[in-house]
Amino acid sequence: MQSASQSNTLPRAEIITAGVYATVERELSIQTDAPEVAAYVRRVYAPAALPSPSGALPFDRGLILAERAQVLFNGERLPLAAHESGDAFRAGFYGSSRLVRASLGRQSTRTTLHAAAVRVGDAAVIFVAKPFGGKTTLTLAMLERGALLYSDEFVTVEQPSRDVAGIRRTLHVRETSLDAIAQPAIRRHCTLAPGRTTPLGWRVWDDVDPRDAFGPGVFAEPAPLRAVIAIEPATEEASSPLVPISPLTAALAVSDRLTLPGPGFERYRTAVDLCEGVACFRLAIGSAQAAAERIFEAVC
């Protein structure tokens, strides 16, 4: 059986370089054996693309082997769940996500969350939600009001400054969210592009570039964390008020979205450290526009 290290030495003719990408305080090269995977990575991570390695930051190497259902990070094989392989799309989607998380995980002063974050004025606001919980829809509503974007996928908080940064990538927009999105460029993109159909039967567009809708300056520079908002399912069309909650309560939602391995108590302790000293709220989103307005009023 061929080892992971041997797999990483395939003939160069079989390997395609998708690109080099900024992962906050590191840089990541992604290669693959599948043209479809390379095209996916280039499209989705275009906002983070670099012309070449800068030489000024630590450098990581990632390899997605779609045919073998393997993902290698700096020569070491990363685990993949059964549903994360089987075709080129899943190899690109899950493989690139694994590589980005691995690169972020090597930044010891940063805590990484699967979350969304925006900058409002001179402060950062993080949204945490369960999958399909509405964080991208709320993020778009915030951008329409003038906020700047960190990410709707991977967000990092640096310690001890608590400066927030994010992976610059395209947005995931679901068909079920389109009615809540007013921005015409995004609606036009989703009308013209086919997207993909999920197992649940609705369409998703993975490559909605926020620069097309909000301009090249849409991505935010780091700013200190001011608020953490835990999004809950809405039981009615109107959004609930922003309900203040304790850092201990907010940490329960945050710990579930941390990318850290390890026991639950360690994850919760990390989440408490992140939430302490900042405003924490609970919000049930009915109208994303109304929710965005309430957040601006609370943060500004």
Q: At 231, which amino acid appears? A: I
57-114 confidence digits (pLDDT tens): 999 999 999 989 999 999 999 998 888 988 899 999 999 999 999 999 999 899 999 9
Are both 96 and 124 inside the same structural domain?
no
Are both 44 and 127 inside the same structural domain?
no
Averaged pLDDT for residues 14-22: 96
Q: Which pLDDT does position 290 carry in this prediction?
A: 87
pTM reported for the whole predicted model: 0.91
Q: Which pLDDT does position 240 carry in this prediction?
A: 67
Q: Which pLDDT does position 5 carry in this prediction?
A: 46
Are both 117 and 148 inside the same structural domain?
yes
Task: Give residue 63's domain range.
Answer: 4-108
Q: Hey, how many other C-beta atoms are within 10 angstroms of the C-beta on 19?
A: 18
Q: For residue 208, which of 234, 223, 188 has the smallest C-alpha distance?
A: 188
Are both 47 and 171 inside the same structural domain?
no
37-61 confidence digits (pLDDT tens): 999 999 999 999 999 999 999 999 9
273-296 confidence digits (pLDDT tens): 999 999 999 998 888 888 999 999
Are both 212 and 259 inside the same structural domain?
yes
Averaged pLDDT for residues 143-163: 95
Q: Which pLDDT does position 4 carry in this prediction?
A: 46
Are both 57 and 173 inside the same structural domain?
no
Are both 131 and 246 inside the same structural domain?
yes
Are both 152 and 16 inside the same structural domain?
no
Angle at the Cα of 169 (from 205 to 175), degrees rounded to 5?
Answer: 20
pLDDT band at 254 (very low <50, low <70, confident <90, very high): very high
Are both 101 and 133 inside the same structural domain?
no
pLDDT band at 13 (very low <50, low <70, confident <90, very high): very low
- The whole-chain average pLDDT of the chain stands at 90
* The two structure tokens encoding residue 168: 């610059």
pLDDT above 70 as % of the chain: 94
Are both 162 and 291 inside the same structural domain?
yes
Last residue of a domain, one of 86, 108, 130: 108
How many domains are contained in the chain?
2
Burial class (CB within 10 angstroms; exposed 0-12, middle 13-18, buried 19+) of 263: exposed
pLDDT at 7 over 80: no
Q: For residue 280, which of 231, 221, 222 has the smallest C-alpha distance?
A: 231
Last residue of a domain, one of 75, 108, 141: 108
* The two structure tokens encoding residue 84: 């994360």
pLDDT band at 2 (very low <50, low <70, confident <90, very high): very low
Last residue of a domain, one of 61, 81, 108: 108
Q: The domain spanning residue 186 has which CATH number?
A: 3.40.50
Q: At 69, which amino acid appears? A: A
Are both 118 and 261 inside the same structural domain?
yes
pLDDT at 213 over 80: yes
Q: At 273, which amino acid appears? A: D
Are both 60 and 180 inside the same structural domain?
no
